[in-house]
Amino acid sequence: MGHILKIQPVFKEMIWGGHKLRDIYGYDIPSDQTGECWAISGHKNGDCVIADGEFAGKTVSWLWENHRELFGNVEGDQFPLLAKIIDAKNDLSVQVHPNDEYAAKHENSLGKTECWYVLQADEGTKMVMGHHAKTKEEFVKAIENDDYDNLLNSFEINKGDFFYIPSGTLHAICSGSLIYEAQQSSDITYRVYDYHRKDKDGKERQLHVQQSIDVTTVPSNNDSNKLFTNTHLDHGSKTRYVESEFFTVDCYRMEGENIVVNDKPFQMVSILEGEGTLDGQAVKKGDHFIVCSDQKEVVYDGVMTLMITTL
């Protein structure tokens, strides 16, 4: 028997957050402005605790430091991935993330390439991804003129949509969205625009305009991939949404018993819908696990949708 570790999420209150993380997943959230569930994380700003088993009470980062063999002895000084569920009651800032090179030089951090799977979207909910500037000069001029209506590439989203967002991509999650996000383990966000909204003290949030100009890709690629690879399972299907140098994300839609092989250093598993069993252990919507490298396969049974993110 290998190690399958149940993970306790960390919750973050945000100016734009809501209460869907409680209403839909039953989480004990800190307030009705809870924007993020850090579901599986070893990042210092939200280091998740292992819920049960021999490592109960230890953090993901502690396990990474002290038992690297459970992660296939992969290299790196920090747990490399982070999975979140994001509840946007209001619009997030228009923002951009740096690549590894810029983040290492300026922030002593990994860069941040990420991806989003839309768990739920209110009718008419939009998303910002990319922009319409053809040159850096045009991009800077739009920012200086506060001309975000013409600059930003905005469109409506629906439940089940998936988006891959490389570092350098201008983006914003908008109000009415509930998102599963897989990303590099980084908490570096450069805000370029925040709608001039003020906090409870009457202050606007800090912007990072120069950094945003430095790292934003111009011109941007506004065509997101809509073609995904589907595989038939014994009882269900698997959709591969992305396979990149940073991570691979697969969605399993199960209707009965399926065996999933673990041929990666580790798997991050999030139950997004339904309930069933994971190697005989009862699981339900909102549960999260790390399947370690010494667990070569996992038997799932039940009617459920789950996301598996790996290196």
pLDDT of 153 strictly over 80: yes
Confidence of residue 224 (pLDDT cuts 50, 70, 90): confident
**Cα-to-chain-centroid distance, residue 85:** 7
Q: Which amino acid is at 116?
A: W
Alpha-carbon torsion 263, 264, 270, 272, what sign? negative
Residues 6, 288 contacting (CB under 8 angstroms) = yes
Give pTM, 2 decimals: 0.97
Is residue 223 over pLDDT 90? no
240 is catalytic: no
pLDDT of residue 226: 81
Pick 58 or 222 by higher pLDDT: 58
> Which pLDDT value is given to residue 225?
77
| DSSP SS3 for 255 | strand
CB atoms within 10 A of CB 162: 18
Pairing of strands 258-261, 281-284: unpaired
Compute the average pLDDT of residues 238-255.
98
pLDDT at 39: 98
Pairwise CA distance, residues 99 & 173, whole Å? 20
Distance separating alpha carbons of residues 154 and 172, to the nearest angstrom: 9
Q: Which residue's structure tokens are 């028997």? A: 1
Catalytic residue among 22, 191, 205, 253: 191
